[in-house]
Amino acid sequence: MADEGKALRGKKKQKRTLQKLKRYYMLYLMMIPGLIYLLINNYVPMSGLYLAFKNIDFRLGLLGSDWIGFKNFEFLFRSQDAFIITRNTILYNLAFIVVNTVIAIMLSILLNEIISIRRIKLYQSLILLPYLISMVVVSYLVLAFLNTKGFINSTIITGLLGRGTGISWYSEAKYWPFIIIFVNAWKNVGYLCIIYYASIIGISSDYYEAASLDGARMWQKIRYITIPLIKPTVITMVLLSLGRMFYSDFGLFYQVPMDSGAIYSTTNVIDTYVYRALIQLSDIGMSSAAGVYQSVVGFIVVLGSNLVVRKVSKENALF
Amino acid sequence: MKNMVRRMGSLLLALLLVISLTACGNTGETNKGETSGNAVTEGAGKEAAGEKPVELTMAFLIFGPVPNDLQKVNDAINEYLLEKVNCTLKMVPINASNYSQQIDLMLTSGEPLDLLADGTITAFFNYTSHASKGQLYPMGDLLEQYGQGITDALGDYVSAAAIDGEVYGVATNRDLAARTSFMCRTSLLEKYNIDPDKIKTYEDLENVFKTIKDNEAGVTPAMAGQTANGTLFDSLGLSFDTNGDQLSDMIGVLLDNQKLEVSDYYESDLCKALAERAYDWYQKGYILQDATTNQSTAEDLVKAGTLFGYFGNSKPGIEKQESALCGEDITEIILSDTLSDTQKVTGFMWSIAAGSEHPDKAMQVLNLMYSDPVFVNLLDHGIEGTHYQMVDAEKGIINYADGVDASTTGYDMGVDFEFGNQMISYIWEGDSPTLWQDLDSFNRSAVVSKAMGFQFDSTSVKTEYAAVTSVIDKYKRSLGQGTVDPNTVLPEFVEMLKKAGIDTVIKEKQVQLDAFAQTNNIQ
């Protein structure tokens, strides 16, 4: 009985799939170029993973070179590099998520309290502007501030605070976690803020009117109306960024610290490491090994964050 | 709206795909066109001595764009070569930025390639790896048979690049040694009455730096090297401080180039003293304050007026060369002895590809490149009357042809040092008329390292080598440019190097060096 029902349902489902296929075949056709692109760009290169386990010798060719197991991976773990870059990548991304979300929500609530439309437009544009600037340009803006004779050293430290010498920012690793997080927030908060602002103006004004009639103050309105109502948007945005935990903004970590060796311990992330490995070692096997390491750890992190996502809200999970 | 965006997205992607595919198709076609064009010229070539002339492919490095008149000069060269050795040459200039990859590709894909510029300057070449992977043709027998001109020009250096006793490349005959100098602005030297000949020691230099620092606002007295990432270790460490040998990568060096004893430079007292000096100079404002973030060359900074001078390798004729780059007169203050080691000789070389079908012809052409002024001048300067004209035929001094200058000439690649024997080519007006004699005596006056000819093969320790390289990247620049305190950072650097396995690399280098010394009977 139950089996029959199942079979029937299966048939029905099949039929429905066919029907759907017929109905939307145009859309599916349109998907093909995108799929081909994905296949060429994301799946075909995966076959290159095997390079990481080979000792490349051109006389023997790529396929004919000797298998050497995990020997290519050893250099990663020789000087704690693997630990440092993994730690940096994950911690920075976590910090970005927290800092950016909090600032963006604060800004969007403040924007919502402004009445003059012209001012709203002005502030919105000012906040969004950094998001549109290329990282290379940003890196030189940062340089103008942090240079040995830059704004911070010459005006603030030696000028206002009256200290004799400035700080050589680009050789002191300890300051960089703050600088990187600050620059990232300055650059990316605008975009997030626009999204939150859009969902705040979507909140019906009835709630606020009713609250005012009941004598609610501004802070109470924010606390009990605005924040609960934008919560779904916040969750979605945080989940989206959790899924990208193991990507890092190459420009932010390579251009902004000006590729200065002395501060690698706090600015080196997986992307910059793989890049440097390829450029400097020019050893295909070893740079592939660094790439494989990135993929594997990235995969684990994505799985992990998906687990968290599923706990929080099931419909936002990837699988 | 969302669907719309998606649709647009996939459309765009499809478009991109189509474009990239057609782009590939296009290059394919043009390549075909080229080869068939060559086939025609080949067929038209006259058959001298009953033997069919062969076409050789010659790949070489250039720094600028491909010259407009390349084909014209190539035709003139072919005409000459057909007569001399009954073959033609297809010149394939490749830009420095992708030379290494392009050559690797040509060597591995079996594309026709006979002669190639190779060497041990890692930014462009990969000679050691090519040779050890069997991609180059062993030249020993050919040199004996056809290479008299090469042997005459190079003398003992002909086998400087030998690996396991077999020569896979011959150095070009140019500056085969170097000395370390401080290059600085003549105008400021004169302004403060500084006699460049009296500057011999660090103290002398410091006095000059102090004068400049105190009197010239906005001018930094010195930069550690010529390029943005050059350090005092590179420029002074093993040349001014001691007559050493960097053994090409500074990972394991000879502190005394007359003793075959490999050691870790970064652990030595010399390195410590130099790092302390760099830090002291940095504190006093003598060397570049924004060294960590600077990306300009020293010449550009001098041109911009913010720099007084810089340390660098030099040779006879350097003042003119650097003055042109800096846009004002430069004086060379010679600091070190003239030194020579493998790296300086084998930096630029010529090799024959292992896949060459006519290695004998290739060697004959190469021989001409070292012994035949007509051929060399064609390669270096192009066609007389079109690209250059004689100013003094007796002394071999030339200048641009009428109506042509540096910016309009159709053939001036500026890579004369690359084409075989530079010392048999014409001299540009304005250079010293005795330039080649000066250069020759400079080469002969060099203190030659005992390890001359030694090439290190890092494959057996490549894990350690890679780890060590990445540690050096992190520390060397900041220590060697004085931006960090060596009292705390240098011990950390040395320790990280040990962890990365520098001792293993040095041990392997010593083993290979001992073996090298034994086969070559060096004491």
CB contact (8 A) between residue A75 and residue B474: no
Q: Indicate whether A31 and A114 sit together in one domain.
A: no
Query: pLDDT tens, B435-458?
Result: 999 999 999 899 999 998 888 888
Radius of gyration of chain A (CA): 26
Q: Indicate whether A131 and A32 sit together in one domain.
A: no
**Per-residue DSSP letters for A122-165?**
HHHHHHHHHHHS-HHHHHHHHHHHHSTTSHIIIIIIIIIS--SS
Query: pLDDT tens, A170-194?
Result: 888 899 999 999 999 999 999 999 9
Number of cross-chain residue pairs from A and B with Cβ atoms under 8 Å apart: 109
Which residues on chain A are in Cβ contact (under 8 Å) with B136?
none
Dist CA B488 CA B436 (whole Å): 48
Contact B479, B275 (CB under 8 A): yes
* pTM higher than the cut 0.80: no
Average pLDDT of A102-116?
Answer: 92
Query: Sheet harboring B307-314: ordered strands across?
Result: B220-223, B307-314, B179-185, B330-334
Residue B484: Cβ-neighbour burial (10 angstroms; 0-12, 13-18, 19+): buried
Query: pLDDT tens, A44-94?
Result: 988 888 888 887 766 566 777 788 888 888 888 876 778 888 899 989 999
Task: For residue B315, give both structure tokens.
Answer: 């040779």
Radius of gyration of chain B (CA): 25
Which residues on chain B are in Cβ contact (under 8 Å) with A276?
470, 473
**Per-residue DSSP letters for A240-279?**
HHHTTTT---HHHHHTTTTT-GGGHHHH--HHHHHHHHHH
Contact B135, A58 (CB under 8 A): yes
Please give, rounded to a whole number of angstroms, the shortest distance from the CA of A143 to a CA of chain B: 8
CATH class, range B179-337+456-523:
alpha beta
Contact A218, A273 (CB under 8 A): no
Dihedral through CA B253, CA B258, CA B261, CA B262, nearest 10? 10
CB contact (8 A) between residue B135 and residue A58: yes
CB contact (8 A) between residue B292 and residue A276: no
Domain C-terminal end among A11, A36, A69: A69
Single out the residue of B470, B489, B291, B283 nearest to residue A173, CA to CA. B489
Q: Indicate whether A54 and A76 sit together in one domain.
A: no
CATH of residue A83 = 1.10.3720.10
Q: Indicate whether A173 and A30 sit together in one domain.
A: no
Q: Indicate whether A65 and A79 sit together in one domain.
A: no
pLDDT score, position A316:
64
Q: Which one-letter DSSP state was computed for residue B224?
A: S
Q: Indicate whether A58 and A97 sit together in one domain.
A: no
Nearest CA in chain A to B498: A79
Q: At what angle do helices A270-281 and B462-480 cross, to 10 degrees?
A: 100
Dist CA B109 CA B92 (whole Å): 16
Dist CA B265 CA B263 (whole Å): 6
Dist CA A109 CA A107 (whole Å): 5
Does residue A9 have a pLDDT over 60? yes
Single out the residue of B93, B82, B84 nearest to residue B55, CA to CA. B82
Q: Specify the residue for token string 């007509």.
A: B374
Which residues on chain B are in Cβ contact (under 8 Å) with A34?
9-10, 13-14
Provide the residue range defining the domain that includes A155: 70-316
H or E element, residue A183: helix A176-201
Residues pairing with B183 in the sheet: B310, B332
CA dist list (Å): B159 to A140, A286, B139, B168, B199: 49, 32, 10, 9, 37
Query: pLDDT tens, A131-159?
Result: 999 999 999 999 999 988 888 888 888 87
Contact A95, A248 (CB under 8 A): no
Dihedral through CA B1, CA B2, CA B5, CA B6, nearest 10? -140
Q: Indicate whether A264 and A254 sit together in one domain.
A: yes
Contact B152, B180 (CB under 8 A): no
Mutation for B interface: A36, A75, A175, A280, most B CBs within 10 A: A75
Q: Indicate whether A65 and A176 sit together in one domain.
A: no
Query: pLDDT tens, B264-313?
Result: 999 999 999 999 999 999 999 999 988 888 888 898 899 889 999 999 99
Which residues, including other chains, have CB under 8 Å from residue B165's CB and lie 6 or more apart?
Answer: B519
pLDDT score, position B365:
95
What's chain A's average pLDDT?
Answer: 85
B16-175+345-442: CATH topology: D-Maltodextrin-Binding Protein; domain 2 (3.40.190)
Q: Indicate whether A18 and A129 sit together in one domain.
A: no
Question: Pick the residue with more confidence: A237 or A102?
Answer: A102
Least CB–CB distance from A261: residue in B7, B475, B501: B475
* Residue A258 at interface with chain B, using a CB cutoff of 8 Å: yes
Dist CA B371 CA B383 (whole Å): 19
Nearest CA in chain A to B8: A30
Query: pLDDT tens, A286-301?
Result: 888 888 888 888 888 8
Q: Indicate whether A35 and A86 sit together in one domain.
A: no
- Ordered per-residue pLDDT tens for chain B, 523 residues: 445 445 555 544 444 444 444 444 343 333 333 333 333 333 333 444 467 889 999 999 988 788 899 999 999 999 999 999 999 999 999 988 788 878 888 887 778 999 999 998 877 888 888 887 788 999 999 999 999 999 999 988 888 888 877 899 999 999 999 999 999 999 999 999 999 999 999 999 999 999 999 999 889 999 999 888 889 999 999 999 999 999 888 999 999 999 999 999 999 999 999 999 999 999 999 999 888 888 888 988 998 899 999 999 999 888 888 888 888 899 999 999 999 998 889 989 999 999 899 999 999 999 999 999 999 999 999 999 999 999 988 888 999 888 888 778 888 887 888 999 999 999 988 888 899 999 999 998 999 999 988 888 888 888 888 889 888 988 999 999 999 999 999 999 999 999 999 999 999 999 999 998 988 888 7
Which residues, including other chains, have CB under 8 Å from residue B199's CB and lie 6 or more apart?
Answer: B182, B205, B208, B333, B335
* Residue A276 at interface with chain B, using a CB cutoff of 8 Å: yes
SS3 of chain B: helix, strand, coil, percent, to 5: 50, 15, 35
pLDDT score, position A297:
83
% chain A with pLDDT above 90: 34
Residue B488: Cβ-neighbour burial (10 angstroms; 0-12, 13-18, 19+): exposed
Q: Where are the beta strands (DSSP E) in B353-460?
A: 388-392, 397-400, 427-428, 447-448
Domain C-terminal end among A69, A96, A111: A69
Single out the residue of B295, B359, B329, B287 nearest to residue B139, CA to CA. B359
* Residue A158 at interface with chain B, using a CB cutoff of 8 Å: no
CB contact (8 A) between residue B478 and residue A276: no
Query: pLDDT tens, B113-128?
Result: 999 999 988 778 888 8
Which residues, including other chains, have CB under 8 Å from residue A119's CB and lie 6 or more apart?
Answer: none
Dist CA A193 CA A127 (whole Å): 8
* Residue A170 at interface with chain B, using a CB cutoff of 8 Å: yes
CB contact (8 A) between residue A37 and residue B16: yes
Q: Indicate whether A85 and A59 sit together in one domain.
A: no
Dist CA B214 CA B206 (whole Å): 12
pLDDT score, position B325:
81
**Per-residue DSSP letters for B436-479?**
HHHHHHHHHHSEE-TTTT----GGGGHHHHHHHHHHHHHHHHHH
Q: Where are the beta strands (DSSP E) in chain A?
A: 54-55, 66-67
Contact B135, B366 (CB under 8 A): no
Please give, rounded to a whole number of angstroms, the shortest distance from the CA of B160 to a CA of chain A: 24
Please give, rounded to a whole number of angstroms, the shortest distance from the CA of B330 to a CA of chain A: 28
pLDDT score, position A156:
84
CB contact (8 A) between residue B292 and residue A258: yes
Dist CA A191 CA A127 (whole Å): 8
Q: Indicate whether A51 and A76 sit together in one domain.
A: no
Q: At what angle do helices B502-519 and B486-500 cross, to 10 degrees?
A: 70
Contact B351, B127 (CB under 8 A): yes
* Residue A211 at interface with chain B, using a CB cutoff of 8 Å: no
Q: Which residue intervals of chain B bear CATH 3.40.190.10?
A: 16-175+345-442, 179-337+456-523
B307-314/B262-263 β-pairing: unpaired
pLDDT score, position A252:
93
Query: pLDDT tens, B56-69?
Result: 999 999 887 888 99
What's chain B's average pLDDT?
Answer: 86
* Residue A81 at interface with chain B, using a CB cutoff of 8 Å: yes
With b for 16 or more beta-carbon neighbours within 10 A and e for fewer, the B109-131 pattern comes to eeeebbbbbbbbbbebbbbbbbb
Contact A105, A196 (CB under 8 A): yes
Total domains in chain A come to 2
pLDDT score, position A59:
59
Which residues on chain B are in Cβ contact (under 8 Å) with A79?
467, 470-471, 496, 499-500
Domain C-terminal end among A17, A40, A69: A69
Mutation for B interface: A26, A28, A56, A58, most B CBs within 10 A: A58
